[in-house]
Chains A and B, each alone.
Chain A
């Protein structure tokens, strides 16, 4: 059986939701992963979207966080102030699942502006959305993004959302209630923060990917776990579920 690197990424991102009860879902890659998890490893997973839906059960991948099916299939639909204040800020959500434009070694995120050098205007990204408070208040945070030197950078041009700040103890010092990022899942492997330094370390490679390949695609000198593992290949069931979701999403869009 064959698969794409994006499928590897999404399947592994879905697996990372094992044991989670509730997930605040960003649109795009996180939404694909969370919906796949509901069809595979964690059927009872409660999907929460910032458009105000609690317990959405879409039959296909939504294009936007406001697609009608997210509301039609939800256990409850609430206002946007309520979702952020009563549900997210109050600490009721286990996992926040985020994408990112730029990530640094402490899993901080930039989704605001790109510095394009002296004399050139800043490149504009979409902005914060829900991410700063999702990363602050969820029990823990998972991130999913494609691995490249453009995305995984030595220094962020702007800190939109704090992961582990500048190292251990920063989250507590800043008063961020959740544990912060626990895994960054990419199309090459999985990075996790070192418990002592909070710096992201390569802990798993996807099948067929080399350590050198990952280091080459990372903008900082990436640390590699001494016993770096290999993720299990996608099962036929995982791939079938993901492809069914994607096909339905595509035919709808």
Chain B
């Protein structure tokens, strides 16, 4: 059953140094507040998994929290490069970053396999691409029924998945809607699940297209209003496109980045 904790308690209880951590949310519902708490607690040596690293992993990588990144598209959506990600990969700053790189279809299916507790997933993918040559988690398998050769991708099973949702009830059932991305699969693939929510309500009235994670599939819930900012929470907040654009100059320079993180994350508990 999900325990309702403070964000500080929830992160301390569920995220450990060296863990494989997935913080998902496909542009929508990105769990920034939880990531900032991970940075404040100095939890490091993480293997970070996420289809689109986005600004959230740019911050974690730039603060030296990650030793490895598993991903499929690492840009600042609609703006340009993730400069901290590039600096880590190209120059090893602040520490070298190992990569395991996929396509979106491959990553989505890795989570599906993980949620299903299967060792791998199959797809028609990567054909003719150089990507399989760089990833130990992409291979091929022959269909036993038709003989067709298909791509096989290893399941991903994070130690912890962290997501943000609109709300939970007092029993710890979680409800999210809008672009639901790959969060259900990422949560069910993990050993431990931390959900931040905009609010706790008495009852979850039904919403069209909503995903519900029952209390018994979640380990900790923390209330974090506006906890997806600069991403957004449909029905509560809007995407802060200005921030995504402002991040470009902030993140270009190491010192500017560190000063920003000190002022807005480390000293802003």
Is there contact, CB below 8 Å, between A84 and B104? yes
Closest to B25 in A: A66
Is there contact, CB below 8 Å, between A126 and B73? yes
Is there contact, CB below 8 Å, between A71 and B178? yes
Is there contact, CB below 8 Å, between A51 and B128? no
Segment touching B, from A140-148, A156-164, A191-199, A232-240: A156-164
Q: A136 to chain B: which residues have CB within 8 Å?
A: 124-125, 127
Q: A130 to chain B: which residues have CB within 8 Å?
A: 73, 103-105
CA gap between A80 and B52 in the complex, in Å:
12
Q: A162-B127, A175-B124 are in contact. Are A128 and B244 (CB under 8 A)?
A: no
Cβ-neighbour of A80 out of B125, B178, B181, B241 (below 8 A)? B181
The proximity string for B residues 73-98 relative to A, scoring 1 for CB distances below 8 Å and 0 otherwise, is: 11101110110011001110000000
A177 on the interface (CB 8 Å rule)?
yes
Segment touching B, from A5-13, A117-125, A200-208, A219-227: A117-125
Q: A131 to chain B: which residues have CB within 8 Å?
A: 103
Q: A51-B179, A123-B90 are in contact. Are A128 and B108 (CB under 8 A)?
A: no
Q: A126-B75, A253-B241 are in contact. Are A80 and B127 (CB under 8 A)?
A: no
Is there contact, CB below 8 Å, between A126 and B125? no
CB distance from A113 to the nearest CB of B (A): 9
**B contact patch SS:** loop
Cβ-neighbour of A162 out of B28, B101, B129 (below 8 A)? B129
A58 on the interface (CB 8 Å rule)?
no
CA gap between A162 and B129 in the complex, in Å:
6
**A contact patch SS:** loop
Is there contact, CB below 8 Å, between A66 and B103? no
A67 on the interface (CB 8 Å rule)?
yes
Is there contact, CB below 8 Å, between A124 and B123? no
Is there contact, CB below 8 Å, between A88 and B74? no
CA gap between A64 and B55 in the complex, in Å:
13
Q: A170 to chain B: which residues have CB within 8 Å?
A: 128
Is there contact, CB below 8 Å, between B78 and A133? no
Is there contact, CB below 8 Å, between B26 and A80? yes
B41 on the interface (CB 8 Å rule)?
no
Is there contact, CB below 8 Å, between B129 and A124? no
A77 on the interface (CB 8 Å rule)?
yes
Interface size on A, residues (CB 8 A): 52
Cβ-neighbour of B180 out of A79, A112, A177 (below 8 A)? A79
Q: A63-B78, A132-B125 are in contact. Are A68 and B28 (CB under 8 A)?
A: yes
Is there contact, CB below 8 Å, between A63 and B241? yes
A127 on the interface (CB 8 Å rule)?
yes
Of A51, A66, A136, A174, chain B has the most CB atoms within 10 Å of the CB of A66
Of A53, A85, A170, chain B has the most CB atoms within 10 Å of the CB of A85
B57 on the interface (CB 8 Å rule)?
no
Question: What interface size band does chain B fall in?
Answer: 35 or more
Q: A124 to chain B: which residues have CB within 8 Å?
A: 74, 81, 85-86, 89-90
CA gap between A36 and B102 in the complex, in Å:
31
Q: A50-B104, A84-B105 are in contact. Are A129 and B72 (CB under 8 A)?
A: yes
B239 on the interface (CB 8 Å rule)?
yes
A176 on the interface (CB 8 Å rule)?
yes
Is there contact, CB below 8 Å, between A176 and B103? no
Q: A71-B234, A80-B51, A252-B241 are in contact. Are A127 and B105 (CB under 8 A)?
A: no
Q: A112 to chain B: which residues have CB within 8 Å?
A: 101, 130-131
Of B73, B86, B178, chain A has the most CB atoms within 10 Å of the CB of B73
Q: A52 to chain B: which residues have CB within 8 Å?
A: 26, 179-181
Is there contact, CB below 8 Å, between A132 and B131? yes
List 8 tightest A-B contacts by C-beta distance, closest first. Answer: A66-B27, A64-B77, A126-B75, A162-B128, A63-B78, A129-B73, A84-B105, A133-B105
Q: CB within 8 Å of B: which residues of A?
A: 27-28, 50-53, 62-68, 70-72, 77, 79-81, 84-85, 88-89, 112, 121-124, 126-133, 136-137, 158-162, 165, 170, 174-177, 252-253
Told that A126-B73, A130-B104, A174-B128 touch, could you supply 20 new A-B pairs with CB distance under 8 A? A27-B78, A51-B27, A64-B239, A65-B77, A66-B27, A67-B241, A68-B232, A71-B234, A77-B180, A81-B112, A124-B81, A124-B86, A127-B73, A128-B72, A129-B72, A133-B104, A133-B123, A159-B129, A176-B128, A253-B245
Q: CB within 8 Å of A: which residues of B?
A: 26-28, 51-52, 71-75, 77-79, 81-82, 85-86, 89-91, 101-105, 108-109, 111-112, 123-131, 148-149, 178-182, 184-185, 209, 231-232, 234, 238-239, 241-242, 244-245
